[in-house]
Chain A
Amino acid sequence: MAPNENSATELTALVVDDDRQLRMIHQRMLNKVGVKNQAVENGKEAVQIHCSGQGFDLILMDKEMPLMNGIEATKELRSMGICSTIVGVSSHTKEKQIQEFMEAGLDDYLVKPLNLAKLRSILDKIM
């Protein structure tokens, strides 16, 4: 059963998105379901935060970002041995684009915008 705000969990998450609106929304969703979280603005920062020694159970990875996009960041994290659940979050719906992102090392892919139901279904799989 997915956690809720009244019963904080030990799960942690990282939101990787260059859009500040989406960072705000996704972080609020994670707070609502009791998941501690941080946010970074691009793939490069996502890699750097892992290099600093931090780890997360769940990474919500946007696709299109400056400096390092979601595909590059996912490949880099997997090559570093990061085994977290990485879920791609993007507005792309074309099969070829989704496949390219999945092949980078995603565990799942969700179409933006996220909602609480989609998030809970992901957390159900992790817990």
Chain B
Amino acid sequence: MDGMVPLQKQILDYTASLFQEGYLDDQFNQLQELQDESNPDFVVEVVTLFFEDADRLLNELSKALVQESIDFRRLDAHVHQLKGSSSSIGAQRVQRVCISFRNCCQEQNIEGCLKSLQQVKHEYSLVKTKLETLFQMEEQLVAGRG
């Protein structure tokens, strides 16, 4: 690490902390492995798609849970999508909350679903902030080299 600029080390340490704290799992490593000179923005592009899909799905879930008659199958389908989306970028904590959310949908447990929705929103907000911070740091590093 002797030749590393301080920001590079900061990025490595920050990324390591995201894994240690369980925000990210090995799937995020897979995405980084797919990034190279021919696809330099691959990770940011995929994660941006995740943010767009998650924002849309969380909106749908919020609307679905205030209906007079809750369609639990539709609710479950949205959570299933969010679970898949989060697992494909390695957003481990979001994925885990989605698993328990699905159990509540399948049990038609309204209170459980409402609580799960708050939990998934919270975990998503956390990982989104952390990933945005990471991407900003990486941008600064590239700008500094330019």
Interface residues of A (CB under 8 A from B): 19-22, 24-25, 28-29, 32, 64, 91, 112-113, 115-116
Given contacts A19-B88, A29-B34, A113-B30, contact A24 B83 (CB under 8 A): no
Q: Mark B77-121, 1 if CB is under 8 A from A, else 0.
A: 000110111011100000000000000000000000000000000
Query: B33 on the interface (CB 8 Å rule)?
Result: yes
Give the interface SS of chain A, mostly helix, strand, loop or mixed: helix
Given contacts A21-B49, A113-B27, A113-B87, 5 further A-B contacts (CB under 8 A): A19-B81, A21-B50, A29-B34, A112-B87, A116-B30
* Interface segment out of the listed B1-9, B11-19, B39-47, B130-138: B39-47
Residues of chain A within 8 A of B45, CB atoms compared = 24
B49 touches A116 (CB 8 A): no
What is the number of residues of chain B that contact chain A, defined by CB distance less than 8 Å? 21
Q: Mark B27-67, 1 if CB is under 8 A from A, else 0.
A: 10011011000010010011001100100000000000000
B84 touches A22 (CB 8 A): yes
A94 shortest CB reach to chain B, Å: 12
Cα–Cα distance between A25 and B30 once the two chains are bound (Å):
9
Residues of chain A within 8 A of B33, CB atoms compared = 32, 116
Given contacts A25-B88, A113-B30, contact A64 B50 (CB under 8 A): no
B52 shortest CB reach to chain A, Å: 9
B92 shortest CB reach to chain A, Å: 12
Cα–Cα distance between A64 and B78 once the two chains are bound (Å):
12
Given contacts A32-B34, A115-B30, A116-B33, contact A25 B46 (CB under 8 A): yes
B84 touches A25 (CB 8 A): no
Cα–Cα distance between A91 and B31 once the two chains are bound (Å):
18
A21 touches B85 (CB 8 A): yes
Q: Top 5 nearest A-B pairs by Cβ distance?
A: A113-B88, A21-B49, A28-B34, A115-B30, A21-B88
A14 shortest CB reach to chain B, Å: 19
